Structure 1
Amino acid sequence: MQGSFDQAIKVAEQAKEFMLLHLIAPIPSHYAVAYCYFSKENLSLIKKIDGQLTSKKPLDAIFIDALFNEFLSNSQNIEDNIFTPFGETLNSTLAQLDNQVSSGQAAISHLNKIEKTLAQLSVEKPLQNITTFLLNAIGQSTAQHESLSTELYKASEEVSQLKLKLEESRQEALIDTLTGLLNRRGCDKKLQALSLDNIHSSLVIDIDHFKKVNDSFGHSIGDKVIQLVAKIIKEHVTPDDIPVRYGGEEFVVVLSNKSQQFAHTMAEKIRLAIAKLKLVQRQSNTQLPSITVSIGIAELHNNMTWATLFNNADQALYQAKNSGRNRCVLASANTAA
């Protein structure tokens, strides 16, 4: 166990020196790349860094970030392969040191008793000198162990903080920053908790003529429209549902354990609420054209995958677009609401 701890410390020091040498910004993702390089666990990553060094190209942030995204962007792998093993090694070493410190303190206590007894008995001086020497030696060893334990506890706390930040980053990676809704990755993760054997429905929502809004009023206004639409969607779904910004001006809502009829009613409420929006560009005091959405609705049936459900809802959305927009279409009946 001491060997694995020493190796982890060695790799950590090599990673730190490597980052200093190449002026690599000391952020967690860059450290993860450097650590993996010296731990020699990913041959493809090592080959790319060695190739960059051989060609005398800089190890700049763009290159390091690309390596992180290619090999380590799955944050679970970072935790499983770096932080968790290192944390386990630290904890094991700390436990051993604590045992040694406890044994040393017990030995000091016994030797103190012996020293007092020898003094009372007026025995030979050499024997007392040996006892004093043992007390000093064990005391120094115990102090060294206690000092090392303090440093290791600090390192263990830092590992715990890094794991906490990693979990926060993992959660942030599931959220669309503009709207606060889940993104595609977040949607996929949430869907894992739902059974395909139950009844679920899906809405696919697309903002009508959104490109005209961007072209006429700019992307900042376009972003504001997306945020307002997302806000209305969030206000109409339940805590069990999964609202998602699927990309651009398109949204998906998975209605957990709800029929297509229920989904249609909710879709209509969302559509009408968005159509009531009155938006004005503050700088020019210009009123924006009416914001409307088209919505496709589908229900999960037996032997159907999530991809099939979304595709059915998407096909219904296309029909809503082709039928004049600002309407809801049911995938099963293919009739405009």
Structure 2
Amino acid sequence: MLKRSSIPPYPQFYELFYTYATGVNPSLNNRINAIFRNGTSPSSDLAETLYEEFLKSDVDDRLTNVSERMTARIDAVHDAIDTAMTSATAYSGSLESATDDLEQALSPESFRALASRLLNETRRMQDTNRALEQQLQSSRDDIAALQRDLDDARRESMLDPLTKIANRKSFDEGMDVAIADASRTGDPLCLMMLDIDHFKNFNDTYGHQTGDQVLRLVAMLLKSNIKGKDLAARYGGEELVAILPSTDVEGAVIVAENIRKAIQAKELLKRSTNEKLGRITASFGVAAFQPSDTPASLIERADRCLYAAKHAGRNRVVSEKDLEGSLRRAAG
């Protein structure tokens, strides 16, 4: 759909159409379907508008909204239960009274009146129970929708709002889990760090909006070149990282090289003016987990490799093995 509409596959546009394809946001689907029915051809500007309206929102506001709706729904259920309990108490009293009456000798007229009274009380109780059932069914549906909203907000809270990959909080949690798993299983684990070369100069020359598009592009290329268990994250500024479980240094270097080449192959075009901005490159550092590592020590070694890559001329991948080889050559 993106290709057919000539919309660039930036993360936010991919998320928009992915959400449409899954059907989890009925309001978004209704809007896009109406656009298609009207024969309107989607554009980048229209996609940006839809994204801003349906998907981009403040997580705290969304959580507050979910909390308020949940509270209102719980209050409604409590009210319905209170009403049912009041009716049940009254009905119980009517049955006790009828039991006392039945223990006495009743005339046919009195017996008919008692039966009519009990029938009316039973019908009222049935009506109350039906209302409670409807209220509970409505609450189940509402709570299911609230759960989906809460899950969406929780996922969004773990994403970097610009690049739509994991944020620093999510990365920190992912590192703890990955190191714990590697320590338990003995499987290899690598951390890859990348930094966009001369990004500050690029920002100063072409503006922060264009710089943001570059960050989104690099994040998309990073995420699309790693496998399911891996975690891509924005570490800070123009630095991105990837946690690579079950991957040794040689495999991590191959992944980094693939990403480096993919970034270098992209020729940038400023959408507003069609001005060619040339190409960008990135430098990479790769470190492997050691049994004595903490998250901080693994990050420090990967950062050291990244610094070496930039110091050696940028647009290259440097791993710990490369640094060890350089030290051995210098010593020899």
Quick one: distance in 1 between partners of 2:274 and 2:128? 72
Higher RCO (C-alpha 8 Å, min separation 6): 2
Does 2:142 match 1:158? yes
Instruction: Structure 1: give runs of 5+ residues left out of the alignment.
Output: 1-65, 112-121
SS at match of 1:280: strand
Report the CA distance shift for 1:216/1:302 in structure 2 as closer, same or farther (over 3 A).
same
Measure how far apart 1:296 and its partner are.
0.9
Query: Of residues 271, 292, 300 in structure 2, which corresponds to 1:303?
Result: 292
1:179–1:227 contact (8 Å) kept in structure 2: yes
> Which residue does the alignment assign to 1:130?
114
Matches of 1:83 and 1:190, distance apart in 2: 30
Equivalent position amino acid for 1:275 in 2: Q
Name the structure 2 match of 1:55: none
Deviation at 1:279, TM superposition (A): 1.7
C-alpha spacing 1:328/1:147, structure 2 compared with 1 (3 Å): same
Q: Tell me, what secondary structure is at the counterpart of 2:323?
A: coil
1 CA distance for matches of 2:259 and 2:190? 15
- Indicate conservation of the 8 Å contact 2:176/2:295, yes or no: no
CA distance, structure 1, for counterparts of residue 321 and residue 169 of structure 2: 27
Question: Shift in Å at residue 302 of structure 1?
Answer: 0.6
Q: Which amino acid aligns with 2:208?
A: H
State the aligned residue count: 250
Distance 1:129 1:189 in 2: 71
Q: Measure, in 2, the Cα distance between the counterparts of 1:307 and 1:254.
A: 13
Matched, 1:208 2:194: no
Structure 1 counterpart of 2:237, one-letter code? G
Q: Is the 8 A contact 1:87 1:159 kept in 2?
A: no
1:204 positional shift: 0.4
Shift of 1:131: 1.5
- Give the counterpart letter for 2:196 in structure 1: I
Farther-moved stretch of structure 1 (196-205 vs 316-325): 316-325
Measure, in 1, the Cα distance between the counterparts of 2:150 and 2:117.
Answer: 49
Partner of 2:252: 263
**Equivalent residues in 2 for 1:1-337 (5 A)?**
90=77, 124-191=108-175, 193-194=177-178, 195-197=181-183, 198-334=187-323
**Inter-CA distance 83–212: structure 2 relative to 1 (3 Å threshold):** same
Paired AA for residue 182 in structure 1: A
Root-mean-square deviation (Å): 4.1
The secondary structure found in structure 1 opposite 2:158 is: coil
Give TM-score scaled by structure 1 length. Answer: 0.62
> Residue 222 of structure 1 aligns to a residue in which SS?
helix
Cα offset for 1:187? Answer: 2.6
In structure 2, relative to structure 1, the CA distance for the partners of 1:143 and 1:285 (3 Å cut) is closer
8 Å contact 1:205–1:295 — kept in the other structure? yes
2: CA distance between counterparts of 1:287 and 1:133? 87
Q: Deviations over 1:112-158 (max 9, x none)?
A: xxxxxxxxxx9621121111112112222332332244234433432
Map of 1:16 onto structure 2: none
Q: 1:259 to 1:87 in 2, by over 3 A?
A: farther
- Between 1:175-184 and 1:261-270, the stretch displaced more is 175-184
CA spacing shift, 1:158–1:286, aligned 2, 3 Å:
closer
